Structure 1
Amino acid sequence: MSFLVGAAIGDEPDPIAWATRFGANCLQINLGDPTSWAKPAVAMPGGTSALKDAAEAAGVALYVHAPYVINVASTNNRIRIPSRKLLQSTLDTAAEFNSAGVVVHAGHVTKDDDPAAGYENWHKGVTTLELSAPLFIENSASGKFSMGRTLEAITSLWQAVGKSGVGFCVDTCHAWAAGIDLRTLGETIRAITGRIALVHA
């Protein structure tokens, strides 16, 4: 069995040169400022086509982390609707260079919301999205009202989205911060989601 091993390098203008220099066969990149609502864009000169050609020539799998501002679970229309649009735009841009997957945070509701509303928003979100690239939802480190922090929350989230074709990204640091036992993390998450698409370690 072979593994893809790399690093998260942000909005690097030439991620493939970075991968070659450090011997990585996969990378996670951002398509711009991850704290912004701006339209996603590739920093590499030549854009998505140049990145696609360079990645294929080097044999490097590229993952994208969606902007941190995205909150598909939100009950606030002014957050949820733009979140869906930005996530779709990120998926579409990632698809242009054959990204191996787009990682997005599980999001959260507020203390005044029923968590079920957040899971329902996720269900609606993934059924309306066009998965032009693979989509992986990542577990959260903190937040009492997060949709993906505890095992119970992840279970509820997967009941809402598990049949839609999305995958799960496990962040071991987030899991540790949330109090999940790392010794059985892989087995526990696979029991909930069926498989693990990507690991942040």
Structure 2
Amino acid sequence: MFTGIIETLGSVTHLQREAGNLHITVASTLSDELKIDQSISHNGVCLTVVALSPGEHTVTAIAETLQKSNLGTLQVGNLVNLERCTKVGDRLDGHIVQGHVDQTARCVSVADQEGSWLFTFQYDRAQGNITVEKGSITVNGISLTVVDSQADRFSVAIIPYTFEHTNLHQVGAGDTVNLEFDIIGKYVARIMEHQSHPSRGH
């Protein structure tokens, strides 16, 4: 489990395809503190550390993960948001994040608000995910609050610290980001679906 509070940025140093998998090597200030088999979030995707070298770590994304996230579009030199899993007993500064990306979204616009930035993202509503005003959303692993919720898009306001210390400063109109919708909202949506179509599911 994660909180959506990014610890640091990592830089992709090497990419290796192997069948349907992608081995991603990242250099970061956290890498020397990691262990083999440890879980760490990369742009909101929970991945397992499979190899270590001084100042770097390697994780593997399988085909399903690449299809549901933006990890398959990574290039050497790209920055990724990193967060280690939450320790039991720590404060939950963001919200409950599983590290399981639901789908991607396209950045529609970035508006400079003179002290903050308003990012608007559009996603495929056919997958059944929803946002609500003042609800939580995870964008590239970052816990954020929805300020404008529509049927297939939403906006989030980004403060300077978050803008500078995550890879959102590299996201512009047309770019793809990873989304993990709030787990409580997903359960509510599922319950409502069953009430509307009681014959579906188990």
TM-score by length of 2: 0.25
The structure whose residues are more often helix, as a share, is: 1
TM-score by length of 1: 0.25
The structure whose residues are more often strand, as a share, is: 2
